[in-house]
Amino acid sequence: MMLPAHSLIALAGVLVVGVATAYDAFVFIALLVWQLRRTRARLATARPPVTLLKPLCGVEPELYENLRSFCLQDYPHYQVVFGAQDAADPAVDVVRQLAREFPALRIDVVIDDTLHGLNRKVSNLISMLQHAKHDVLIIADSDARVGRDYLNTVSSPLVDR
């Protein structure tokens, strides 16, 4: 049984439209997948700017190396706020040396002897907090030494929605 010519033409037209529709759907899905991967990659590399608060009190062994490790971070945008309660604290001289060594890094030194309670370290942190430029705060003691990926490691959970 032979189909009339107009039926064959109609069938061919339906097949062409079906193939074109399937191709359009494939392209649309591929575009969505590509966009989703690109967005995920961008979020994976995006890091919030952070302020690192470093309370100081005196010079301990390897203070320069410990503080310097925080200045060597592979992190796009961060500030380091060092705080002491006495301008004569020898740790302040170490921080000033670091500020000269890393002029491109935002390093602030806060010297404030105000007591905000009984704990001197907490008082120091409260005084430093006023100088923080970013919403994300990281607090680390002066006797800590870290690797170059410290800020990336600590801030990565903040990017994971």
pLDDT band at 117 (very low <50, low <70, confident <90, very high): confident
CATH class given for the domain over 50-159: alpha beta
Q: For 63-75, how does the pLDDT look when each residue is reduced to its tens digit (9 = 90+)? A: 999 999 999 999 9
In three-state secondary structure terms, 99 is: helix
pLDDT at residue 99 greater than cutoff 80: yes
Most confident of 16-30, 44-58, 72-86, 146-160: 72-86
Question: What gap in Å lies between CA 96 and CA 147, rounded to an integer?
Answer: 22
**Which residue, chain included where needed, has tokens 């979020």?**
43
Spell out the domain ranges in the chain: 1-45, 50-159
Per-residue model confidence (pLDDT) at position 5: 74
Residue 19 has pLDDT above 60, yes or no: yes
